[in-house]
Each structure stands twice: as structure tokens, then as C-alpha cells.
Structure 1
Amino acid sequence: MTSIGGAEMVDWNLAVATATRLVRPGPEVSRDEARAIVAELRTHAKAAEEHVRGYTRMFGDDPAGAPHDTPVLVVDRPGWVRANVAGFRAVLSPLVDKMRERRSAMPGGAVLGAVGGKVTGVELGMLLSFLASRVLGQYETFAPPARELPTNGGGGAGRLLLVAPNIVHVERELDVQPHDFRLWVCLHEETHRTQFTAVPWLRDQLESEIQSFLAETEVDPSTLLERFREAAQSLAGGRQPEDQDEGEPRSLVEVVQTPAQREILGRLTAVMSLLEGHADYVMDGVGPSVVPSVAEIREKFQQRRAKGAGRLDQALRKLLGLDAKLRQYKDGEKFVRHVVESVGMDGFNRVWTSPNTLPTKAEIAKPADWIARVHGRTAG
């Protein structure tokens, strides 16, 4: 992978090795407890599928006839790392190819590529080790199949990951009923699986936007350095870029983007807000009927989301833009709730008709505008 003749821009094996070496161990459980937890999560995932499909009506009046072909995998923290490295490698391959072409034309580019690949591999591994202890579950949309982490073999149809040690850690930290909390988490993640299973074009739409974003990425070091310098001056001087929303903070990742990238990111943000908000709405909508302590879980979990785990955690969240993801949950849930209350669940499901019916970033903040555009009327 890192041979001088054909060096990768990212040493993916090193990224996995670094992350698995640095990731913190999960909570202590006996072997029998671990087996019981895995079995219960699988049972909850199956039950959540039925609850979510019935509640969302995304498969119409016959949710039982919908496909059941995407696997549910209960993984540990290193397993989550391996799955996500596979996904990153698949999605980022066009950008990596672009960087390889640029470096091949430089004197000593092959050597720089080998060294740079190792550096990038270590950096990615460090980032994944931070995230691996925080993610409770994930619908992995883009990863190719692997022997230890299979998909259904249907051309990237996705797989649902539940990170058992993280779920156990959070339920203990919050001091909530484990059975209820595990089902509650499964409801959220199963909603994501239902979204992509019921809306076949959604994966291709997201991939197209991501590839457009990567195509705009500047790989020239001097240009990137200049952009970092301008961003630093802007932040230090308290100046706000012209295309930034009033009062909306930017992460370091965002300030070095081109205007075209920020436009694409706006569309991606709207879609992700919809998906995350919809999952939160469904999780809370189904919750009262099947999760007795859902109110307590929601209150404690929201408090945990808001404050983070500590100063270092808060700093990293802001730097990486993870705070923006937390806003997506909140803004998206408000959008879904407003639309469902105004036009009903079937009226809301018009959002899945085509890419043209997805909400814009502005419509996420003003759902009445989406209702007017898609339904042709003002919400009552």
C-alpha cells in the first residue's frame, strides 16, 4: 500500500492500526453479559424495524411486504473503525486519485506520497479513535462488503451497525433502564435503514453531492495554505464571510472551503438535517408505546448531547464541526414535526418523492415554505 512506486495518499491499514491502538477500551462486562447484550440488540433491531415501518408509512399500507435485505451488525469499537475506513476509502477514492496525479508530476512526488500517506493514515486513525467511543449506531450507506463486515451483496445497499460497548457505556452513564435504552437507540438507527431502503435514489443523490464536493477540493498546498491564512485572519478579526449565515459559527473544516463547496455543503446539510431530524422524530413518536421510560431517557440524553463529555470533547466537537451535527438533529426534528402536524405523515412523505422535493437549507428553518412549494398551499 505504501510502496514508493504506487504510494497511496492515505495509508488505510495504518489508519486502522492507529485507531484500534488508541481507542479506549469499552466498559467491563463478562463474556456471558457481552453475549446477552449482542443478542438483545439484535432482537431490538428486528422489533424496531416493524415499529418504524408501521409508524413512518414509508412503505405504504403494506410494510411487511417491503425488502428485508440489509444486515444488522453488532460491533465493538475496532469493528466500527474497520467499517468506516472501508467507507472512507470508497467515497474518497476520486479525491485520492486527484492527489496522486498532482503528486506524480512533482519532483520526488512518489517519495512524498509514501511519507504523506503514512502521516495522513496516522491522522485519520487518531480522528477515528476519538469518534469510535462516541458513536452508538450508524447506517453505513457507502461501504463495500468485507469478509468480516458483509453487506447483502446487492451493490452497496448498506448495513446497520450497532456499537455495543458505546451503548452500554452511555446507558450506565445516564443511569437509565438498559432494555429501554437499547430499544430506543435501535429505533433511531432503524429509521435511517428504512429511509435508504424505502427511497432507492437517496443513496445515489448523496453520493453525487459528495463527489461534487470532492471534485471542487483544492489539492494544491500553496492554495490551501493561503486559504488557511485568510480564514485565520477572518476568525482573529471577528469578521464573518459574506456567504455565512448571521450568527452561525464555522468549524475549521468549513472555513477553508470554496464558495462552490459551501453551496454543495448547504444542500448536504439540509438532507442530513432531514434524515437526522426524521430519525429523532420517529424515535420519540414510537417510543411512548414501546419504551416505558422514554421521557427520562430523552431528557438525560439531550442534556448529555448539549454539554459534551468535557472541555477536550467540546473543543474537538467544535473544531471538527460536530456541533453542527447536533444542530441538525434539533433543526431537522422541528421541520419534520411542523410538516407532519400540518399535512400528516403521508403529506410529509412527499419529501421522499424525488431530489426536487427534498427541503433546502432555508426550508429546514422555514418548513411552511416547503409545504407551500411541494403541496402548493400555505400550512394551516
Structure 2
Amino acid sequence: MLGQVIDWKLAGTVARGVANLQPSGNPEPFEQLAAPAVEAERLVSAYTGLVAAQPVPVAEAVERPGWIDANLASLQTVLTPATERLNGKLGPLGVVAGGVMAIEAGAISGFLAGRVLGQYEFPVLEPDRPARLLFVTPNLAQAAESLEADADQLLRWVALHEMTHALQFGGVPWLREHLAGMLRELLGGLQINPASMLRVPDLTDLRAMLERVREDGLATVMIGADKRETLDRVQAFMAVLEGYAEHVMDAVGADVLDDLPALRSALSRRRRDRSGLLKILERLIGMDLKLKQYELGKQFCDGVVARAGIDGLNRVWLAPETMPTWAELSDPAGWLARTERVEPAF
């Protein structure tokens, strides 16, 4: 079966092994999620005006294996169309190539499984499939310990962030299909060369690849220069999603959390304090781009709200056309000028 080019069972085994190498904490203090989730939905909806058309997913406490299963299931829906393009190209080398890709997918998922605190999770290429609201309790416990944060305060703060995503996708009807469409466009330009997958690169190949990764990130190496505009749109879209959630968790948290500045400072340090090896790994898998999305997206959202309030920022949800471009993320005033004739929907 072409959808089985990647050995997903092997990927899961690798992911669990990598996840187990990372420190974790006692999940028990973070397993009662009903009250923080209800509070977060009420507060985020009151501040933003976002209301889900259907009930938001029930908050689930999961450990790392549960998150890995969910992540790999979503990843499979994304990568299966790409692997189907290999039909007839791999021949007897398919098993080897599938093993290599499984190890790569598993290693990345395992690394992330040791770091993610919460996630609004859904199959991105299947917009009609139900979503889940996951909280990875061993990671929350380890973060609380390393950040010297109160467990209840940290959980409520993270819940604000993840509930914002739940209300974004649950309250903006075009959002999931728009994201799926952009990703389908990107995957259509994915460059897969079966021969190069199994060939040991020479020094010139490595230097060229590392230079491209250093300048533009791994995504541009895999997608190709002709899809750079689409990649920029996806990254700008993700920056708005993350920046909006970052803005909301601070704006709302300021009124209900005892020491928000300390939490924000500690979380920023956690995101940036990595060993040299982890920094390299994060660069290779694109986590550095995610950090930029958090930072640039939050700066954009904070800048818009400072000028036009949350109603002004909510113009991003009116239509795909009102989403800021990558350049506009650094120019909130210019984006507001471009969208000033559009009435806020919330």
C-alpha cells in the first residue's frame, strides 16, 4: 500500500524512545481539567467575542504516548498524499526509504512530545474531522518545577492559550478549510527524490543544504523556491494564530493570575534556554520558525490592539483576504489602514 511507505509503527516506537530520554514530572496535579477549561472558555470568549459554533472539545489529560499517537495520526494524514507521489519510483528500496522516513518522523515527534504543554489538535487536511484539546500532564509538571511556577497558575494560563485556539477554529467557519487549502498547495510542491533519499550526500551537498537551512529554514529546502510565496502565507497565518493566543493569554491572564509577569518571563526563558544540540535540532525541524511566529505574531497583535482594540484585531477573522501578509506582521499600522473599511465581525 502506498500510504504505508512510512512505517508508522516504527515511527511510534522511535518517538516513545526519544520522549523517554527527556525529564518529566508527576502528572497528578494537572489531571483535573474541567474547571480550568470552563474558566478559560468563559474568559477568552468574553474578551475576544469568539464563540464556537459547536461545543469545544472536552479537555483531555494525556501522557506522552497519548500525545505521540495523536500527533503521528495527524502527521500521517499530511504525509500520505506526498508518499502516494512515490508510486512506482521506489521499487525494492521502498522498505528502506519507509524506515528512514519513519525514524525521522518518530524522532521529531518524540522530541516534541517531551516539550509540548497543551495542544488544540486536529487532522489539518481533514477539516470536517473532530478536534481534540490535549494537555500533556508530565510536561506541565516538569515545566512547573523547572519554572518554579505554581501548578494551578500555570495550568490556568496554558488553558487560556489552548482555549483561544479552540475558539479560533470553532468560531471562525472558514479557518480550518483555509489552512487545509494552503497546506495542500504546499504539499503539491514537495520535492521528493527517491534516489537522493538513499544516497550519502557529499560535502558540497551538505554545505549547500546547510546554507539554505540557515538562511530560510528546512521548510524551503523541502518545498522549493517556487512555493515560497505560499510558505510565507502559511507562516504569516500561523504567526497570527499563535500571536493572537499569546496576546489573549496575557491580556486575560493579567486579571486572573497572581503573578503573570513572572510566568511570562519564565516561559520565555524555557523557550530560549536550550543546549547547543537542542538548538541545532530545533533549527532543523523548524522550531526556531515557531518561536519567531510566537514573537512576531504577538508583537503584531499587541500593536494592533494598542491602536484599535480587540475589535480592530478581530478583522483577521473576517476573511482570508484580511489576514496580514508576512511583511504586514511588522507593520500593524499599515495592516489596519488596509483593512479599515472592513467592519469587525465580532
Q: Check whether TM > 0.5.
A: yes
| Residue from 4, 11, 15 that aligns with 1:15 | 11
Distance 1:123 1:328 in 2: 24
Task: Indicate the RMSD between aligned Cα atoms, in angstroms.
Answer: 2.7
1:363 corresponds in structure 2 to 328
Matched, 1:84 2:84: no
Shift of 1:85: 0.6
2:24 corresponds in structure 1 to 27
Letter in 1 for 2:121: E
Matched, 1:37 2:30: yes
Mapping 1:251-290, distance limit 5 Å: 251-290=217-256
Shift of 1:90: 1.2
2:294 corresponds in structure 1 to 329
Task: Please say if residues 7 and 113 of structure 1, whose CA atoms lie closer than 8 Å, have aligned partners that are also in contact.
Answer: no
CA offset digits 1:140-167 (Å, max 9, x no partner)? 131699xxxxxxxx93131111111101
Shift of 1:131: 1.0
Distance 2:85 2:95 in 1: 15
Matched, 1:196 2:177: no
CA offset digits 1:69-124 (Å, max 9, x no partner)? 4232211001110000110111222112112x142xx6xx0x22123212221221
Shift of 1:317: 1.1
CA offset digits 1:332-379 (Å, max 9, x no partner)? 1111111122222122211101111111101111112211111159xx
The 1:312–1:199 alpha-carbon spacing in structure 2 relative to 1, beyond 3 Å, is same
Structure 1 segments (4+ residues) deviating >6 Å: 223-226
Task: Please say if residues 45 and 167 of structure 2, whose CA atoms lie closer than 8 Å, have aligned partners that are also in contact.
Answer: yes
Shift of 1:255: 3.4
1:176 corresponds in structure 2 to 149
Matched, 1:233 2:214: no
Distance 1:93 1:272 in 2: 22
Letter in 1 for 2:240: L
Distance 1:279 1:7 in 2: 34
Secondary structure class of the residue paired with 1:360: coil
Runs of at least 5 residues in structure 1 that lack an aligned partner in the other structure: 146-153
1:293 corresponds in structure 2 to 259
Q: Percent identity?
A: 35
- Kindly name which structure, 1 or 2, has the bigger radius of gyration based on alpha carbons: 1
Task: Please say if residues 143 and 158 of structure 1, whose CA atoms lie closer than 8 Å, have aligned partners that are also in contact.
Answer: no
Shift of 1:46: 1.9
Matched, 1:127 2:108: yes
Secondary structure class of the residue paired with 1:23: helix
Matched, 1:167 2:140: yes
The 1:71–1:261 alpha-carbon spacing in structure 2 relative to 1, beyond 3 Å, is farther
Runs of at least 5 residues in structure 2 that lack an aligned partner in the other structure: none
CA offset digits 1:40-78 (Å, max 9, x no partner)? x3321221111111111123xxx8xx5314232211001
Task: Please say if residues 42 and 74 of structure 1, whose CA atoms lie closer than 8 Å, have aligned partners that are also in contact.
Answer: no
Shift of 1:258: 1.3
Secondary structure class of the residue paired with 1:200: coil
Distance 1:161 1:270 in 2: 24
Deviates more, 1:254-263 or 1:118-127: 254-263
The 1:27–1:222 alpha-carbon spacing in structure 2 relative to 1, beyond 3 Å, is closer
Distance 2:48 2:257 in 1: 17
1:303 corresponds in structure 2 to 269
The 1:295–1:69 alpha-carbon spacing in structure 2 relative to 1, beyond 3 Å, is closer
Secondary structure class of the residue paired with 2:85: helix
CA offset digits 1:226-255 (Å, max 9, x no partner)? 9x956723756xxxx7xx9xxx84334433
CA offset digits 1:234-279 (Å, max 9, x no partner)? 756xxxx7xx9xxx84334433531222211100010011011001
Task: Please say if residues 124 and 176 of structure 2, whose CA atoms lie closer than 8 Å, have aligned partners that are also in contact.
Answer: no
Letter in 2 for 1:269: Q
Distance 2:2 2:269 in 1: 49
Matched, 1:52 2:39: no
The TM-score with structure 2 as length reference comes to 0.89
Secondary structure class of the residue paired with 1:70: coil
The 1:360–1:253 alpha-carbon spacing in structure 2 relative to 1, beyond 3 Å, is closer
Shift of 1:187: 0.7
For this pair of structures, how many residues does the alignment match?
Answer: 339
The 1:37–1:197 alpha-carbon spacing in structure 2 relative to 1, beyond 3 Å, is same
Task: Please say if residues 24 and 138 of structure 2, whose CA atoms lie closer than 8 Å, have aligned partners that are also in contact.
Answer: yes
Distance 2:15 2:58 in 1: 25
CA offset digits 1:306-335 (Å, max 9, x no partner)? 222x12211111222211111111111111
